[in-house]
Structure 1
């Protein structure tokens, strides 16, 4: 039997060179993997509500038309409320990804500024990057719905406008200074806590120096028409505002510019320029008026004038606040209207105490209010104040004014006396005249008129009969021959008068007889004078008397 022996194994302690190849391959792989991650750059996360047009592995991220990254994945969030977009950026772009950076999708759009993004019709949409100035790195951003108006580092100033009214402005609307475009509306946001709208405006350099403490902003509509008691006002804006509107700002007339404002300052947005002027008169005295005529056409904001000069504004029509039984008050005392007399409209540095004192003196002198027509087209009314020194009101009017005064005092306002307007007085007089006419004995007048007409008819019939008789008389042949006979008689009279005309024998004989008669009368004159002095001178011889001699004048 053969004896078996075990083999002796000796371990080789020498390192084999064959291992160099796999180790080198592993090291090269690690280096390549490290270099690959070094070349990839940061992984950016974008959040949006809709990923329309964005495709993983295709959609590019650009900045100023240069590729700076690519979308690698598009996924829904766990709550399915938004889309998570992940994009791999180039290494050199990492410094631009800060908290001020903005991202939005560039695609074809038709807006107020025209048509944009037409180059994406063939290449597809892409995401635009707008770098910020912050030094803080941020790799997660919200994808904006619309592009920002201006870069965050653009030179200029940004201000915030606040208003209680919604609408009227949109992102991209122009900001105007005296009709010249100097900026743009950047953002629009509604504050739920304070229930107001916030607008962020960007005003570019060098026009940012125009924004000072005392400037005022107002909505600038393209075309507006205001037909009120003050007349027709037409405001036509620029071609830009005609299509989209905008916001304007300027200093009010006579105001100082004030100091410069910081970036992000807040201003109030007024609905129009006129409302800015009205808002300056914030010191006033309120009065309650009672009108016993129609107030149709009188609206809040209507002017209160004193002999053509505006001194206040109508506040409320009708004013039933803190007044019990308003319908009964309207029937008995009149419709209450609240007005305010504004101190700033009279003269500067007028205190409310001085204003109240002057108004009380004016009421004592007979100042009253009346409704006047401000616009015949619209029927708009305004309140006119005037001082009248007419006679004192009668007992009925005094009682009514006492009731109105008690109501105004209970409501907490002083009362201003009122009177009817001119048209109302005319209307009242016309009604009174109609009442008097209605009270006239019309039936009796009609009966008398009928009798008069009958008498007139009878008279006309008699006149017709008389005219007929005259016609018969004129038609009589003897009456028709009468003119010829008269003419013949006149001719004979003319021939007779021609016989006694100067130069005719009869005329000469008559003239000689008259001269003889004159001579006889002259001769008889002494005889008659003697008989006048002595009636028996024809029987007895008359005494001869000397002629009277005139007396000589005394010396």
Structure 2
């Protein structure tokens, strides 16, 4: 069945009319768009800042799992871990919580916390089960920052910690590492924070931190040196033993202090530079930077004399041995050693004598002393090690013989050509003793030994004859002693002694002869008493035997004159 065909005359045209009235149906999509925008805005507001951390590797760091903490509180999370464009570094993206935006500034520091064993002990044991995490240490700067370098380990001190940071520079600092303690008279006051080798200067540079209030101890005159825990030095001055604290006994560290007698000086600023000495002894040697150098020539062995040995004058150290031997600027050193002696360079230091002494004044005084006979000799400093030191002696007597005058002139010319003044030297006491022994041996060698031996032979022959005569004499004496006449002699002597004893018994007290002799002596005594007045009279008047003696009147005392 076919439909009816519509003709063109039957087609009518539709009329289009625009609707000017707003339709309520558009409220729904507009509301959906607004809700979506608000949710998106709220989502980003709740997410916080996005940080970029750059690290050498990503050991222990996992995207969407590794947390970022500050004082054991979660403040963010790692969202991605990727390699950098040059494939040399790791780029770590981390989303932080909104509340910690103030902690993200220029002084903030990030590092990975994981189990480690170091000089400070065992750290990060709590991450064995929970896994590694990133620690945030906020700073106090007001400049915001979103890009950081991830530190491999915890810094020694916070960037905002109160204290002072100074730089140390040394040519040889083996054994010193980051984390080692900084000591003041054995007490720990800081830590070594950073170390770096300066390739241009070929020196190691260290940054140390000294916490408050000990930062006030750091002044312009303090000196820093390595503390190895235990050290000893056996030199010409003896055995020196230095035992530090138990902290540095295993790990070492850095010590600082003022040298004895030095003023403290002015306070220093952050970043000030100091020299790091190998030990305290080098600090004391480095205090004397002004000196006058002299060249010596020794015609004896210098074994035991080393660089750094003391130069003394009457037991007081006035300088230091600089080089043994010294062949710089000297041509034909072997020939010089054979003819002029071993050259040794010494330094006489102004600071060891007295303050405010200039090098010019020191040189003038030394020249006057040399003119008066000052010379240098080698002295033993330690008999166990054989270490030597140089002693300056002042002697008004002539030290050198005439044969050495030409040698001294050659030494002076050689010293002038090397650019140093020459100081005369003499043999030490041990060398003089050796020389005297050799001279004594030469005298013994020059003795007429053969003549002495011939005379000794003759003397022995004469002694042999004398001994034979003495043997004959002994035989004769023996025969005399064994003769009957000599045997009878003791009996005769005994009889004579008995007779002598009997005679002495006849005149002993109690015998008649002794009593008669005693009576006669008493009578003689009485006679002498009776004759005594007559003798006195004759002494006064010698003619009293022929004329009558006049009786003298008794003396009368006289009255004293008024």
Alignment deviations for residues 13-35 of structure 1 (CA, whole Å, 9 cap, x no partner): 88987776666556545543443
User: Does 2:384 match 1:365?
Assistant: no
| Aligned twin of 2:263 | 256
| Aligned twin of 1:328 | 335
Structure 1 distance, partners of 2:497, 2:70, is 136
Could you tell me how far 1:197 is from its partner in structure 2? 1.6
| Aligned twin of 2:285 | 278
Partner SS, residue 363 of structure 1:
helix
Structure 2 distance, partners of 1:454, 1:20, is 159
Of the structure 1 ranges 32-41 and 17-26, higher mean CA displacement relative to structure 2 is found in 17-26
Query: For the structure 1 residues 240 and 496, does the alpha-carbon distance in structure 2 shift closer, same or farther, using more than 3 Å as the test?
Result: closer
Could you tell me how far 1:47 is from its partner in structure 2? 2.2
**Alignment of structure 1 residues 175-190 onto 2, 5 Å:** 175-190=182-197
| Aligned twin of 1:344 | 351
Q: How many residues in Structure 1 have an aligned counterpart in Structure 2?
A: 504
Unaligned runs of 5+ in 1: 505-555
Picking from 276, 297, 303, the partner of 1:290 is: 297
Of the structure 1 ranges 456-465 and 119-128, higher mean CA displacement relative to structure 2 is found in 456-465
Structure 2 distance, partners of 1:11, 1:436, is 154
Could you tell me how far 1:81 is from its partner in structure 2? 2.7
**Alignment of structure 1 residues 304-323 onto 2, 5 Å:** 304-323=311-330
Of the structure 1 ranges 423-432 and 138-147, higher mean CA displacement relative to structure 2 is found in 138-147
Alignment deviations for residues 495-526 of structure 1 (CA, whole Å, 9 cap, x no partner): 99999xx999xxxxxxxxxxxxxxxxxxxxxx
Alignment deviations for residues 356-394 of structure 1 (CA, whole Å, 9 cap, x no partner): 221111111111111111222222111111111223633
Partner SS, residue 157 of structure 2:
coil
| Aligned twin of 2:541 | none
Query: For the structure 1 residues 91 and 450, does the alpha-carbon distance in structure 2 shift closer, same or farther, using more than 3 Å as the test?
Result: farther
| Aligned twin of 1:3 | 4
Could you tell me how far 1:194 is from its partner in structure 2? 2.1
Query: For the structure 1 residues 205 and 13, does the alpha-carbon distance in structure 2 shift closer, same or farther, using more than 3 Å as the test?
Result: same
Partner SS, residue 389 of structure 1:
coil
Structure 2 distance, partners of 1:351, 1:120, is 64
User: Does 2:425 match 1:418?
Assistant: yes
Alignment deviations for residues 74-95 of structure 1 (CA, whole Å, 9 cap, x no partner): 3333444333322222223334
| Aligned twin of 1:131 | 138
Picking from 100, 104, 107, the partner of 2:111 is: 104
Structure 2 distance, partners of 1:493, 1:111, is 115
Structure 1 distance, partners of 2:501, 2:317, is 93
Q: Is the 8 A contact 1:53 1:125 kept in 2?
A: yes
Could you tell me how far 1:460 is from its partner in structure 2? 4.3
Q: Is the 8 A contact 1:229 1:380 kept in 2?
A: yes
User: Does 2:103 match 1:72?
Assistant: no
User: Does 2:238 match 1:231?
Assistant: yes
Picking from 53, 60, 68, the partner of 1:61 is: 68
Query: For the structure 1 residues 133 and 490, does the alpha-carbon distance in structure 2 shift closer, same or farther, using more than 3 Å as the test?
Result: closer
Q: Is the 8 A contact 1:405 1:415 kept in 2?
A: yes
Picking from 221, 225, 245, the partner of 1:218 is: 225
- TM-score, length basis structure 2: 0.80
Structure 2 distance, partners of 1:405, 1:122, is 79
| Aligned twin of 1:89 | 96
**Alignment of structure 1 residues 193-204 onto 2, 5 Å:** 193-204=200-211
**Alignment of structure 1 residues 134-533 onto 2, 5 Å:** 134-391=141-398, 393-442=400-449, 445-446=452-453, 449=456, 452-453=459-460, 456=463, 459-460=466-467, 463-464=470-471, 466-468=473-475, 470-477=477-484, 479-484=486-491, 487=494
Partner SS, residue 61 of structure 1:
strand
Structure 1 distance, partners of 2:398, 2:261, is 45
Partner SS, residue 38 of structure 1:
helix
Q: Is the 8 A contact 1:213 1:260 kept in 2?
A: yes
Alignment deviations for residues 412-469 of structure 1 (CA, whole Å, 9 cap, x no partner): 1111111111111001111221232234344554565456556545654554555455
Could you tell me how far 1:104 is from its partner in structure 2? 0.9
- TM-score, length basis structure 1: 0.81
Structure 2 distance, partners of 1:29, 1:498, is 167
Query: For the structure 1 residues 10 and 309, does the alpha-carbon distance in structure 2 shift closer, same or farther, using more than 3 Å as the test?
Result: same
Could you tell me how far 1:485 is from its partner in structure 2? 5.2
Root-mean-square deviation over aligned CA pairs: 3.3
Partner SS, residue 344 of structure 1:
helix
Q: Is the 8 A contact 1:370 1:418 kept in 2?
A: yes
| Aligned twin of 1:553 | none
Query: For the structure 1 residues 35 and 413, does the alpha-carbon distance in structure 2 shift closer, same or farther, using more than 3 Å as the test?
Result: same
Alignment deviations for residues 40-65 of structure 1 (CA, whole Å, 9 cap, x no partner): 22322222223222222221110111
Query: For the structure 1 residues 55 and 486, does the alpha-carbon distance in structure 2 shift closer, same or farther, using more than 3 Å as the test?
Result: same
Query: For the structure 1 residues 26 and 335, does the alpha-carbon distance in structure 2 shift closer, same or farther, using more than 3 Å as the test?
Result: same
Q: Is the 8 A contact 2:373 2:399 kept in 1?
A: no
Unaligned runs of 5+ in 2: 514-562
Could you tell me how far 1:341 is from its partner in structure 2? 1.4
Partner SS, residue 269 of structure 1:
strand
Partner SS, residue 129 of structure 2:
helix
Structure 2 distance, partners of 1:133, 1:493, is 133
Q: Is the 8 A contact 1:166 1:196 kept in 2?
A: no
Could you tell me how far 1:162 is from its partner in structure 2? 1.7
